[in-house]
Amino acid sequence: VSSTGRAPADVLIDGERIVGVLEPGSRLLGTDVAASVDRVIDATGKYVIPGGIDAHTHMELPFGGTAAIDTFETGTRAAAWGGTTSIIDFAVQRYGERVQDGLAAWHEKAAGNCAIDYGFHQIVGGVDDDSLAAMRSLPDEGVSSFKLFMAYPGVFYSDDAQVLKAMQVSRDTGMLTMMHAENGPAIDVLAQQLVDQGKTDPYYHGIARAWEMEEEATHRAIMLAKLTGAPLYVVHVSAKQAVEQLAWARDKGQNVYGETCPQYLYLSLEEQLGAKSDEWGSFEGAKWVCSTPLRSREEGHQDAMWQALRTNDLQMVSTDHCPFCMKDQKELGVGDFRKIPNGIGSIEHRMDLMYQGVVTGEITLERWVELTSTTPARMFGLYGRKGVIQPGADADVVVYDPNGHTSIGMGKTHHMNMDHSAWEGFEIDGHVDTVLSRGKVIVDDNAYLGAKGDGRFLKRGLSQYLI
């Protein structure tokens, strides 16, 4: 299956590369191909797809006095179990740090620890003359995109002047500007007022981060991008009004793109409000505290996200994998939702959750491949090597069984380093059977055969998706 069609075929792999996509039973130079290879993986009745590319992950992200709990080792292994064979993680520069040092620190965390190939975007958390100069050399390092935050004042936040200057670098270099589009200063006022009224439960996180705050920031980012000529990619889009902004800008020919995440397709603010457990009471809702927040199903945001994926108003699905345990991490926010570290862990389930959208008729099989692999490769300068099954490409291949089944939850399918699953009880009418990373079988029939250090750093080129 590719992003443009499907056909029965044999995929011929030599070493780390795909060398042929042949008609079943083909003869090459007079020899029977199937009889002359070392190993045959029989995928009869199954889908053969390019390995998933998760372009938005946060291994070990420092947040709220703690750090995301998956290391590059545990997080990439969980990814592999779920049919993802490449990630693009975010190297972090914080206030007072140098961009070069932030990137070097992320190289150190990842090198020799990954199960699958990995690249980096650069978070620029302190835009100043020094960081602006440093950003100009990122493309030479294979880091062809950077993320700015219009949210989180005092942590990663950039004001409009900083956004404008960084976008000028984006225009000059061709690097893609990735934007966390929420009006952070206004959100912080609303959040303070809610806490002052005693509204401290996790649910109020989503009330403070109203969709108006996402629509407004998305519009502002679009206009600053238009003014500067920067290409813009808005991350973790959850509000239907934000999608309308993206569509409006694209209709005018602007280089503006967006991703959503499985949580904004499947989960809702109402379900978060209703979540209770013996152990955590109404604090149970902390499991789903992420930013942007879960949105109201009554207001129709989830349906709008699926619709946008069909119409290409949104181009990709990433996880924003940012896992925190309830114990010792999320529980920092008992009594004050502002102190709950933001993030959901999903890296293992993205391919399955999106395949379920094929089963339910939300998207086509081809669109599944496009949203999870081919477009991420094109958007972030990996296409040809990744995101496609064709001669010359890395042999990152997943055999997916549409007649298999996957039950998600603790003690079932769960290899992420967390003490709970945000996806507990989800049932998928499909199963990741076999996963190859550069020709090596790393997942085979529910056995993990990969090793730490299998994954290599991906030097990315500029986006191949821009108009």
Query: Rule CB under 5 A: which of 49-78 touch Zn ion?
Result: none
- Name which position in 343, 345, 357, 450 contacts ligand URP (CB under 6 A): 343
Question: Contact at 8 Å (CB) between 98 and 434?
Answer: no
**Nearer CB in complex with ligand URP: 47/203:** 203
Among the candidate windows 31-39, 179-187, 253-261, 405-413, which touches Zn ion by CB under 5 A? 179-187
Q: How far apart are CA 86 and CA 52, in angstroms?
A: 7
Contact call for residues 1 and 390 (beta carbons, < 8 A): no
Segment near Zn ion (CB under 5 A), from 128-136, 206-214, 307-315, 316-324?
Answer: 316-324
Check if the beta carbon of residue 102 is closer than 8 Å to that of residue 442: no
Using CB under 6 A as the binding rule, whether residue 350 contacts ligand URP is answered as: no
User: ∠132-238-183 over CA atoms, to 5°?
Assistant: 50
How many positions of this chain bind ligand URP (CB under 6 A)? 9
Q: How far is the CB of 238 from ligand URP (least distance, A)?
A: 10
Binding mask 117-156 for ligand URP (x = CB under 6 A): ----------------------------------------
Closest-CA residue to 167 (of 151, 145, 189, 142)? 145
Count of residues that interact with Zn ion, criterion CB under 5 A: 2
Q: What is the spatial distance between Cα 77 and Cα 69, in angstroms, rounded to a whole number?
A: 14
Q: Which residue type, as a one-letter code, is found at position 451?
A: A
Q: Per-residue contact track with ligand URP, 261 to 290, x per CB under 6 A?
A: -----------------------------x
Q: Which is nearer to Zn ion, 134 or 150 (CB)?
A: 150
Strand pairing of 84-93 and 117-124? parallel
Q: Which stretch binds Zn ion (CB under 5 A): 73-81, 109-117, 180-188, 225-233?
A: 180-188
295 binds, among ligand URP, Zn ion, none (CB under 5 to 8 A by kind): none
Instruction: Rule CB under 6 A: say whether 291 interacts with ligand URP.
Output: yes
What is the spatial distance between Cα 35 and Cα 25, in angstroms, rounded to a whole number? 10
Question: CB 234 → ligand URP: shortest distance, Å?
Answer: 12
Nearest-approach distance from CB 411 to ligand URP, in angstroms? 26
321 touches ligand URP (CB under 6 A): no
Alpha helices in 136-239 (DSSP H): 160-173, 184-196, 203-208, 211-228
The entry of ligand URP, Zn ion, none near residue 343 (CB within 5 to 8 angstroms by kind) is: ligand URP
Query: Looking at 320, 348, 352, 370, which residue binds Zn ion (CB under 5 A)?
Result: 320
Binding to Zn ion by residue 182, rule CB under 5 A? no
Smallest distance from the beta carbon of 437 to ligand URP, in angstroms?
25
Binder to Zn ion among 165, 180, 414, 420 (CB under 5 A)?
180
Phi-psi region of 147 (alpha: psi -120 to 50; beta: other; left: phi over 0): beta
User: 342 touches which of Zn ion, ligand URP, none (CB within 5 to 8 A by kind)?
Assistant: ligand URP
Q: What is the DSSP string of 311-356?
A: HTSS-EE---B----TTTTGGGGTT-GGGSPP-B--TTTHHHHHHH
Cα pseudo-dihedral 189, 194, 197, 202, rounded to 10: -150
> Residue 202 or residue 343: which is nearer to ligand URP going by CB?
343
What number of other Cβ atoms are within 10 A of residue 430's Cβ?
Answer: 21
Q: Is 180 in the site for ligand URP (CB under 6 A)?
A: yes
> How many angstroms separate the CA atoms of 331 and 346, rounded?
20
Distance, in Å, from the CA atom of 135 to the CA atom of 172, rounded to the nearest integer, reads 11
Which amino acid is residue 379, in one-letter code? M
- Looking at beta carbons only, is 238 or 406 nearer to ligand URP? 238
CA dihedral sign, ordered 44, 47, 51, 57: negative
> Does 209 help bind ligand URP (rule: CB under 6 A)?
no
Chain residues in the site for Zn ion (CB under 5 A): 180, 320
Chain residues in the site for ligand URP (CB under 6 A): 58, 180, 236, 290-291, 320, 322, 342-343
